[in-house]
Amino acid sequence: MYEVLLITLPFFAIIFLGTFFHFKKIFDNNSSKILTRYALFITLPPFMFVNIIKSSDDVIFNFDFIIRFEAITIFLLFLTFVISIFLIKNNKSNSALFALNCSYPNYGYMGIPLCILAFGEIAAVPISLILLIDSIVLLTFTGFFVDYDTGKSIFSKIYQLFLNLFKNPILLAALIGFIFVIFKIKIPLMIFSFLEIIALAATPTALFAIGINLYNKIENKALNNILTISFFKLVIHPILIFLIFITFPHNVDPIWIKVAILSTCLPVAGNVFAMSIFYNNFINQTSGSILITTIFSTFTVPLTLYLLLNYFNY
C-alpha cells in the first residue's frame, strides 16, 4: 500500500499545488488555458511518443485483449452519451465530452508508472497498447460528435473528422510512435534525448494547469454531470472490464487483465481537460470531474490494487 501511495500522492500534490497558487492569485483561469495549450501542443505529444517507444521494443498485438477492452470502451462511450442526452439533457457536443470523461482514465500520467511498479516491466506492453488504441477510439468518437451539429453533409463530416484526427497533436504523436515501433525505426540519440526532456514537462505542466482550474467553485448545475461521471469512471468502468474477462473464455495473460482493471479505475485523464479546452466545451464540468475523481481515487485506486495483488488469481 505504501508503494502505491508513493506513486499516486505526488500527482495529487502537483494538482493541489496549482490550486494553492490560484488561491494566492499568482495564477488565474487564463493561466490554466495557456498552460494547457502548452501541454497539448508542446509537451504531451513527445510524452506520448517517448512512452510508446520505451514501453516495449516489440509491441505484442493480442487481439483478444484489444477487442475485449475496446468493446467495453465503445459500449461505455455510447451508454454514457445516451444517458447524457436523454437523462441529463446535455447537447450532443457536451454529451461527447461527458462520455469522454466517463471513459478516459489517466493512463499516461498515472497508469504507466503505477502498472509497472505494481506488476513489473511486463505491464509495459498491455498499458502501451491500451494507451494507443484507446486514445484513437476515444478521440475519434469525441471529434465526430463534438462537430455533429454543424449542418454539414455526412461526407464533409467524415472528411473533417479525419482532418481533425491528423491535426490532433496527441493522437498524431501516438500514431507516429506506433509506426516507429512496428518498423523498428531508430531515433538518433540526440533527438530522443531532446524529446525526453520536453516530455518530462508534460505531467507537471498538465497537472498544474488542472489544479489552477480546480480552484473554481463547482457550480450546482454541474453536480449532476460530475457525480454521474465519477460513478461511471471509478466504479462501472473497472467492473465492466473485470466482467468481460472473467465471463468469456480467452487467451490473455492474467497480468494483462490486472493492468486493464487497474488502468480503468484511475481518475479522469488530464488529456480530457486539454480536449475540453481544444473544443471550448464542457470545461467547468471536466475540471470538476477531474477534481472529484482524483479525490475519490485516492481511496479506490489503492483498494483496487490491493485486491488485484492479493485476491485476483484468475
CATH, domain range 2-310: 1.20.1530.20
Helix extents (H) in the chain: 2-23, 29-38, 44-55, 63-86, 92-103, 112-119, 124-146, 154-167, 169-182, 189-200, 202-214, 223-231, 237-247, 254-264, 270-279, 283-310
Grid cell 463530416 is found at 157
Torsion of CA 93, 99, 101, 102, to 10 degrees: 170
70-92 pLDDT, tens digit per residue, is 999 999 999 999 999 999 999 88
181-221 pLDDT, tens digit per residue, is 888 888 899 999 999 999 888 878 878 887 887 776 677 77
What is the pLDDT at residue 131?
79
List the chain pLDDT tens, one digit each, 314 residues: 676 677 777 877 888 899 899 989 899 888 888 888 898 889 888 887 887 787 655 556 788 899 999 999 999 999 999 999 999 999 888 999 999 999 999 886 678 778 877 888 778 778 878 877 887 788 777 777 776 555 566 566 666 666 666 677 877 887 788 788 888 888 899 999 999 999 888 878 878 887 887 776 677 778 899 999 999 999 999 999 999 998 877 788 899 999 999 999 998 987 788 788 877 888 889 888 988 998 898 889 889 988 898 877 76
What is the pLDDT at residue 230?
95
The cell for 12 is 495529487
